[in-house]
Amino acid sequence: MPEPTYTLEGWQILHDFRRLNWPLWQEASKEEREMALAEVLALVSEWAGLEREGQGSYGVYQIITQKADLLFLNLRQSLDELLRVEERLNKSRFSRFLLPAYGFYSVVELGSQTGPLDPESPYVKPRLTPRLPASGYVCFYPMNKRRQGEDNWYLLPAKERASLMKAHGETGRKYQGQVLQVISGAQGLDDWEWGVDLFSEDPIQFKKIVYEMRFDEVSARYGEFGPFYVGKRLDEAGLRAFLGLA
């Protein structure tokens, strides 16, 4: 039996995609819309405070295409904390105008095919508790490793998996400084096995890195990919403008 990958787990992640009911939002009075926005901004302020204290990270994004309008992205130390994040958003005034679009729950993951990682390593520790960029763009997609016939990732020996992932990682390192990547594991937690978040100041870099990685054998032969969600980070002014309250 092939040996499983050694993993370290860090912060837990909630991707909460919502659609905005634009007709209902536009029909609401300006006072009602302002009160709804004020509640959301109060939540975001709390998230920012936790980020400053090193207890999590967050981002609010405007999503392009009709898949969703907004992404509320939160990283916390536990599932219970993420449940409270989701619950408080659901109970806010703003939730009256929101419709569910998609959600994904996962845990920041670092893997090694050759042996355990040191959680206190200066290279490893910050990657388990990443701080999201305060500006720019996000690209999120879920993925699996294929389990079909001869192309079964989970039947490969550990050394072969390590070799394939090393080549894959070398492609990713070409984009260091241009793309920040956060990998999260979701086996037993959601419908896909991993979630991938890419962050960049230039969204074209998402196309470049994903396309180039398609030629790595680990993706070309063993990768299965779900829907892609792309958006722009919103600060308070950006969220106000998006909602027509600037």
- The residues annotated with a catalytic role in the active site are 141
Two structure tokens written together for 39: 């509640």
**The pairing of beta strand 98-112 with beta strand 6-20:** antiparallel
Give Dmax (Cα) for the chain.
Answer: 63
**Cα–Cα distance list, 226 to 17, 58, 92, 129, 197 (Å):** 15, 23, 30, 25, 13
Q: Evaluate the CA torsion angle 233, 185, 120, 2 in order and state its sign.
A: negative
d(CA 166, CA 108): 19
